[in-house]
Amino acid sequence: MRINKFLAEQGVASRRGADEIVAEGRVTINGKTAKAGDNVQPSDSVALDGKLLSHKVKYEYYLLNKPKGCVCTVSDEKTERPRKTVMDFLPPNAGRVFPVGRLDYDTEGLLILTNDGDLSYRLTAPQSEIPKTYLVKVEGAVTPVQLNRLRSGVEIERGVVTKKCRVVVVDTDKSYTKLHVTLTEGKNHEIRRMFEVVGKPVTFLKRIKLGDLTLAGLDRGECRRLSQEEVFYLKNL
């Protein structure tokens, strides 16, 4: 097993985050500093910052209705005044898990947290094309021309065009429009940038579905364990 996958299964970080930890020289395998691409055998002693890690892993899966005003990281130590993170909403007995993907500081909604590195990779890998649905609110009306541009794909920066997506108006009056937008990719700030391109800055953004998994029964800031059926569903999306 690759060292980054091993660390991800320990709930230390995502695979990408694990690569960074290894590059910082914080991981040893049998007393020697680990390198990217190293493999871990069941008999190996692996330590992070001098603390031995167990090869036995108990996977945990949580669903959080993330409120805005917190960051999708395990900690926020890089700022002078650390902000609240999604970890603050987990139950006290939760194990070492990490967020699957990210929602912006001012974006709320559905977020999975787990120490299952394989599931995390599957849900975030571009080739998986997992559908994610968002509730989007903008000021004023959205014209048919603007809707067609969003659905067909827009250039959010030079040479970067979004994929075709599903955009449905769910509520509108003279002052605002609410839409459901379903994407199968996850570019940085993608929805906000898409709507800016067509001249309709987003005033509210919430992820409401991952595949067919929803936030039913969860208020803002509430968290619960996923059922076995839900975990099975996500693994087979």
Above 90 in pLDDT, residue 113?
yes
Report the SS3 class of residue 112: strand
Mark whether 49 is an active-site residue. no
Domains of the chain, residue spans: 3-53, 61-127+214-235, 131-210
Share the mean pLDDT of the chain. Answer: 92
pLDDT tens figures, 31-74: 999 999 999 998 999 999 999 988 877 889 999 999 999 998 88
Per-residue confidence (pLDDT) for residue 189, from 0 to 100: 92
Do the first three CATH levels of 3-53 and 61-127+214-235 match, i.e. the same topology? no
Contact 27, 33 (CB under 8 A): yes
> Residue 114 has what pLDDT?
93
Q: pLDDT (tens digit, 9 = 90+) per residue, 178-195?
A: 999 999 998 889 999 999
User: Which of 44, 76, 104, 118 does the annotation list as catalytic?
Assistant: 104
Of the candidates 222, 229, 230, which has an alpha carbon nearest to the alpha carbon of residue 88?
A: 222
Given the candidates 3.40.50.150, 3.30.70.1560, 3.40.50.720, 3.90.550.10, the CATH classification of the domain at 131-210 is: 3.30.70.1560
Per-residue pLDDT tens over the stretch 85-105: 999 999 988 888 889 988 999
Q: Contact 38/29 with Cβ under 8 angstroms?
A: yes
Assign 13 a pLDDT band (cuts: 50, 70, 90).
Answer: confident
Percent of the chain whose predicted confidence (pLDDT) is above 70: 98
The amino acid at residue 41 is: Q
Contacts of 4 (CB under 8 A, 6+ apart): 15, 16, 18, 19, 22, 36
Helical segments of 66-173, H only: 117-124, 144-152
- Kindly indicate the confidence band of residue 79, based on its pLDDT and cuts at 50, 70 and 90: low
- CATH architecture assigned to 61-127+214-235: 2-Layer Sandwich (3.30)
- Closest to 119 (Cα-Cα) out of 74, 63, 42, 61: 61
Residue 18 pLDDT: 87
Q: What CA–CA distances, in Å, run from 212 to 132, 161, 174, 177?
A: 9, 26, 31, 24
Pick the CATH number of 3-53 from 3.30.428.10, 3.30.70.1560, 3.40.640.10, 3.10.290.10: 3.10.290.10
